[in-house]
Structure 1
Amino acid sequence: MFERGAYDAEHDELNLFYYQHYYFYRRGYDQARRQVRGHPDPRMLAGVGVVVLVALLSVGGWMLFGWLGASQAAQSPIEPIVATTQPAPATPRPTPSPSPTPEPSAEPSLQPGVQALVVNLNGAPLRVRRDPGITPELGRLNEGSEVTLREGPVEADGYLWWRIETPGISGWVAAGSLEGTPFLEPLP
């Protein structure tokens, strides 16, 4: 097979089946092809490559450490901090003004026992899961569905989850997208 590969290479005829399936055919073909084209042996090229790489690394290391040493020598010495025996003069502190009491929010928020509306789905359904997180799906709710929040929020898989209840299904839903778009809006 080696001789057959060498013969085919010399006559520029490649038998692709032999080349793919017979090691000695491929070896004879490649070796004869390199001789015909005048290409050097790839092992010799690898040896030259290693020598060049070692030379570049040694020169680069020499330059790097030489540069670091020169930059450290050019820096000024650090002056020590000397402690003084006199205390620093006291600066008067402003008296804190009384902070205003926060106004109670008239807007309802998500909490257990609140009715909520499914929103911002752009036509896609909201998946109801068995447990908080990306768990098996129990069902789906369409945008505009009203739900009662029973438990939550629970953080899992990067989302905040609420246990909801509707006349048709009970389970866990994500309160919003990873980008912050809310899927549940409390009803007034």
Structure 2
Amino acid sequence: MPQNQPRRSEMWWRGHNDALAGDPPNESYYHYYYDYKLAYDQVRREQRRTRWQRTLSSFGRGLLIAAPVVLVLGYFGFNAWTTSQPTGEDQQAVVVPTSTPRPTPRPTLPPPTPTPEPALRPDSYAVITGTQGAALRARSKPGLKEVTVTRYREGQTVHVLEGPQVVDNLEWWRVEADGIGGWAAGTYLKPIEAASPPPP
């Protein structure tokens, strides 16, 4: 029994010594003697605490040693990475100029020549239009108050013989169809091109 220690029971010292030796507890003593169990558990707790303290101490020393190395390696690695990146000047240096293709000029086409519309004139032909299906009156002389000598149906072709004469704010033309002629208002005469006189 160690000297200068508080007086303990024999079972307490047996549990203490078994735990220090790393032996498994004596099952009979551990279950039936309180002093044996108390000493054994106390020593085992102190041993576990000591192992943790040693582990943390070793980890701390390793961290203190490794931290400067990691910082130095990180510093040089970052510098190497930044120097390997192309700068704006490097990027401009590798730009290859390309020529812009010129658009092919399209040929300018002359404007189409407008086809002159036929106009009413003597010795031309016209068709009766715009009467809404009603017959067009042909009078003995130019004017709305003159005597009606014949009527022409809408769509009928007439031969323009003479004119124009302005009476009652209208242009009057002397026309003929089927051998019968008279003066008709030019508002209802649409000029047409005719290669030959219409059949009688």
TM-score range, shorter chain: 0.3 to 0.5
Question: What TM-score does the superposition give when structure 1 sets the normalisation length?
Answer: 0.40
Decide which structure has the larger Cα Rg and report it: 2
TM-score (normalised: structure 2): 0.38
